[in-house]
Structures are given as structure tokens and as C-alpha cells.
Structure 1
Amino acid sequence: MKIGIVGAGGVGGYLAHRLAEAGELVYLVARGAHLEAIRERGICLKTKEGLSCARPAAVSDNPADFGETMDAVLFCVKGYDLKEAARKAAPMVGSDTLLVPLGNGVGNAEVIAKVYPGHAVANGAVYIVSHVAEPGVVALVGRGALVVMGMAKSDASPKPKALAEALKKAGVKVVVSEDITTDVWKKYLLIAAMGTLTSCYDVPMGVILQKHRGELEEAFREIIAVGAAEGAALGEEDLEMVRRQLERVPHDAPTSMWLDFKAGRKTELEQLTGYIVRKGAEHGIDVPTMHRCYEILKAHHS
């Protein structure tokens, strides 16, 4: 397959390496020193087994340089960059190209669909612990990644299955979901609640569990209620699974949004917190915990 990957960070870089190593035609959009390093020796993956590098079919900061339309384009960027990234990807997007956002948040498919109305747009989520260790090198913590993706229930397109086969051949665990709305909300439940509260209180996850557990549970319930209004069938078993995940988290573990706030970088406040506030208002659902923290953090942003 010809697979475009927009964003060469911990997720996009990992997938680009695995797919290129497996012989797929990967067209990677990267920038800066990371781009130059990839041009020189390929996209490299550092694991406990060592370092390996694989060369994409092409790499550039401008998709027009590729001169190709893709079978699929994976968007592996932060939510605040997704709309602009989708627009810039236009030279890679043909009439039959499958578009798959793999960032945090649950509204990503909506963003892509507005840029490309009428196109095949899947939604997706990635479970992975990885980061850019140095230009051209992605470091993987743990054994690999799980990609969950799927089309809306009304769309029976076979395209996600073809992409899933390519990913599986590359050694990536993949689930083609029959209810992708619920599945993306399962991940969102944890990252939106914890990202919001760690940022709101400026503390790691362990402190939230010890000192603000009641508010965490309230945030969970608010997210579940809004998710139900959006078509996600989250149940008590999903909430219990999140609680079990949190039991294994180190006391000083941060969230990515909290780290971004602390470093003064752009954050996914609108995608992880503001989204619940806006959708809650749209559906007439009260979300006081998320709303209070949103106002605090929005003031911090300004």
C-alpha cells in the first residue's frame, strides 16, 4: 500500500518505521531537524533490543513533493494541529484515499470530514508509550502499539481492513472496530479526565488519586454522560477498567497535557476538556467539574 503519515513523532514515527521495514511504501511528513535526520539515515526505532532504521519511500515537510496520492493517510498530530495538517495533506488525497486520524480526542474524524466532505474517513486510537529521543529516532517503551480503528456504523467500507492487514504484517497489533465511537471514547475517558485534573491542580496522577479522587470520579461520570449523548456505549465495566489501569500508574506519573502546560507549550485543552464542556452544553448535560477546570485552564492559557 501507499501510506502517507502526517507527523513523525512518537506515534507517526513508530508506525512509519514498522511499515517501511515491512516493505510498505511510506510517505512521511516531518519537519526541522527530525526531517533532516530521517533524510540522512531513515526513521530509526530504539527498543530494548537496540536501534534499527528503515527508509520511507519519501520524506518531506511538503506533501506536494511526493507527487503521489495515497491508499491511506494517517494523521498522527496533536489535536490543535489536525485541521491545518489535513489541509496541507491535500496533494496526497485522492478520491479513494482512506483518511485516519490517530491523535488524542474523540472529535478528530469530524475535523477531517469537514476538510474532506464525502471522503472515506475512519476514526482511531493508538495505545503506545513512545517519544522522539533525538532527531530521527523514536524510542519505544514497552512491547509495541495497539491501533484501534473503524468506520461509522453506517459505513461498511472494506478500506480499514486493507490498512489493518498492512499494519499487522508490519508487526503492529490492530483491531478493526465495529463500534469505533465507543472505542475512541474508552481511551478518551481516561486521558480527558486525568489530563484535565492534573493540569488543573498542577500535580501528577498519584496526587489526583490520593487527594482528588472524588472529583476524578465526577469527571468520569460527566464524560460518560456526554459520550452517551454522542453515541458511545460506555458502561460500568469500562469505568472499572480505567480504575484498574490507574492502580498500576506510578505516583509521580504525569499526563502529556500537564507537561505541556508546565513547559508553556500549546496544549490539547480544547480537545480534551473544552470538547466535553461544549458538547455538554449542546446536549443540555451539566459538567461542573470539567467546566470549572476548563475555565481555570483557559485563564492560564491567556
Structure 2
Amino acid sequence: MKFLVVGAGGTGGCIGGYLAKLGEDVTFIARGRHLAAMRENGLRVRSARVGDFQVKPVKACTMAEYNEVPDVVFICVKYYSLAEAVDFLKPIVGKDTIVIPILNVYGTGEKIQPELECTVTDGCVYIFSMIEEPGVIHQPTPIFRMFFGLREPAEAAGDVGAGEDSGKCDKAAGQLEERLQAIEQTLNKAGIEAHLTREIRRDALQKFSFVSPMGAAGLYYDGVAADFMEDGEKRQMFFDLVHEVEAVGQAMGITFDVDLAENAGNILDGLTPDATTSMQRDVAAGGRSEVDGLVHEMVRLGEAYHVDVPNYRRISEWVKEKGIE
């Protein structure tokens, strides 16, 4: 399979790095000094999971330079860069290409599926990693768990029309399932704990129930992980936000198979005490952030499903007052 990783930051760098280390055909879309360093020295990954390794040479280019048809695309950009990534993919994907968005924001695949003439799954990943310096990815904790899958069984029919016989639909569904299983097997062989799930809406929202509260509370209090590990106002706010995500999920008809608060607490306890979220780092750097997808989106979902989310509204209003984008 030809893998294309759009966004070679902490997440994309690890996904593509692990696959390239295995010997898979991987191309990274990158830019700036990071791209220049990868071209000159390859990609180095400092991993607490599999040990440090380097992939050299590495296939890396800009969007304008890419001229292949990928079999599998991992979108690993920030939410505010999603539209640019989709515009890039429109002319290059084939009808059999499988696109797997790995973003912090819930429901990304469903949003972009109408724009791409191929199968777009939803996906999420549990990982703590970042660009340490150009050409170097640091993964200081060993967790690396990915979930991806189709939102509805009907999606497995691909582009087979309703007027065609059910045999063609079944064949298309079977072929797509085989390709998805092959991706899962390759990811696991590369050292990533990958799960092809039939409950991606549940699994993605479960991940979101940590990322969004952590991002929102971390930004609001300008706090590090240690601030939320101790009892007090900050920790209470974090768990109140988790419960609001849970309430919205239940209103959406999603049944969770774990206690979301307990799950979020376990993830929090596994962070390094000085950990901050990527949204905090983006805001601190004066750039764009994922605040729309991680904070404002929860307010919109609350309104859409008639669920009160007072803490998200409070933070959303504070964000707007501060002029944070």
C-alpha cells in the first residue's frame, strides 16, 4: 500500500515513522524547516514505546510536489488546516483510496466525506508526541493506540448505486472491509496498537471526552497536567466538562462501555506533570488554535441536542472575550 501522511507533526510523524521503519511506502506532506531537515537527515523518532530510530532517506514533499495516487491517507493536521488538506486531496485520491482523519476534533470524517470521492472513515489516536526540533519527533510516553472505522455499515457499499443488485453491494462491502483489515494489520505490525472498530462514533467521542475538556480547562486556567491532578477548582472543572461531553453523547444515542470520568482521569494520571495541550501551545505562540473544534463545537452540539453545557458556554464566552481564535 502507498501511505500518505498529511501533516508530519507529533502524530503524523509517529504514524508515518513507524510505518516507514517497517519498510512501508510512506510519503509525508510537510513544510518549512521540518521538511528541509527531513530531506537532509531523514526523520528521527525518539520513542518511549519502541526505542529511538531514524528513517533515512524519507519521502517528504510539499502538497504541490506530490504526484502519486495514495491507497491510504492519514490526515494529521490541526483542525484549522483541515480545509486546505481536503482541497489538496480532492484531485489526487482514487475511488479506492481510504482516508483516515486523525484529528482532535470529533466527527471530522463525517464533515469531509461529501467533499471526497472515496471512502472517508473516522479515527482517533491516543498518543503524546511533538516535534522536538526540525526532523525530530519526541514520543515521551509509550501509549500509542488508534481507532478507526466506518460510521455506518451502509458506507461499506462504497459508490455502488441503489439501482444495482445487492450482489455488487455485498462484493464492494467485502472488498472495503478487506482493505480496512489490511490497514489494521499493517499498523499493528508496525508497533501501533490499532483497532478497526464498528463503534467509531462511540470510540471517537470517548477520546474527545478527554482531549476537549483537557484543552478547554488547560487553556482557561493556563495550567499544566499537574494542576489538574490535585483536588480543587481546576480538577473539578475538568471533570465537569467530561460529564457535559458524556451528556451530549447520550443525547446522540451513544452508549459508552467505560466510565468516561474514570477513563479521562486515568489518561490524565498518565501524563507527565508538566504536560500542556497543543491548543495551549498554539495560543501561547500567537497562532491559530483548535478552539473552534474543541470548545465552540461542544456548545453547538449542546444546542443541537438540547443539552445544557454551562461550563463549555462559560469557557466559550471567555475565549471570545479574549479574542482567541
TM-score (norm 1): 0.91
Separation in 2, partners of 1:277, 1:217: 17
Q: CA deviation at 1:124?
A: 0.8
CA deviations on 1:54-96 (whole Å, 9 max, x unpaired) are 434x32112x533211111110111111121111123431111
Compare 221-230 and 232-241 and name the one that shifted more.
232-241
293, 311, 315: which one aligns with 1:289? 311
Residue 9 of structure 2: aligned partner: 9
- Confirm or deny that 1:169 pairs with 2:170: no
Mark the CA change 1:249 to 1:35 in structure 2 (over 3 Å): closer, same or farther: closer
CA deviations on 1:129-153 (whole Å, 9 max, x unpaired) are 2111111111221335211111113
Residue 59 of structure 1: aligned partner: 60
Separation in 2, partners of 1:176, 1:7: 22
Compare 267-276 and 130-139 and name the one that shifted more.
130-139
Give me the identity figure in percent: 32
- Confirm or deny that 1:123 pairs with 2:144: no
Residue 99 of structure 2: aligned partner: 99
- Confirm or deny that 1:138 pairs with 2:134: no
SS in 2 for 1:132: strand
Aligned length: 299
CA contact (8 A) 1:21 1:55 kept: no
Separation in 2, partners of 1:93, 1:165: 22
Residue 151 of structure 1: aligned partner: 150
- Confirm or deny that 1:246 pairs with 2:268: yes
One-letter amino acid of the counterpart of residue 185, structure 2: E
Q: CA deviation at 1:235?
A: 5.6
Q: CA deviation at 1:125?
A: 0.9
Unaligned runs of 5+ residues in structure 1 are none
Residue 247 of structure 2: aligned partner: 225
SS in 2 for 1:68: coil
Mark the CA change 1:55 to 1:160 in structure 2 (over 3 Å): closer, same or farther: farther
**Superposition pairs for residues 194-209 of structure 1, below 5 Å?**
194-208=214-228, 209=230
CA deviations on 1:165-205 (whole Å, 9 max, x unpaired) are 22122222211112010101111101111211121122234
Compare 99-108 and 256-265 and name the one that shifted more.
256-265
CA contact (8 A) 2:44 2:52 kept: no
CA deviations on 1:211-249 (whole Å, 9 max, x unpaired) are 224333322221112122334323662322222333444
One-letter amino acid of the counterpart of residue 173, structure 1: E
Runs ≥4 in structure 1, deviation > 6 angstroms? none
CA deviations on 1:37-59 (whole Å, 9 max, x unpaired) are 11223222123644422434x32
Separation in 2, partners of 1:39, 1:299: 42
Residue 191 of structure 1: aligned partner: 211
Residue 278 of structure 2: aligned partner: 256
TM-score (norm 2): 0.85
RMSD after superposition: 2.1
SS in 1 for 2:152: coil
Residue 272 of structure 1: aligned partner: 294
Mark the CA change 1:86 to 1:196 in structure 2 (over 3 Å): closer, same or farther: same
Compare 130-139 and 37-46 and name the one that shifted more.
37-46
- Confirm or deny that 1:211 pairs with 2:232: yes
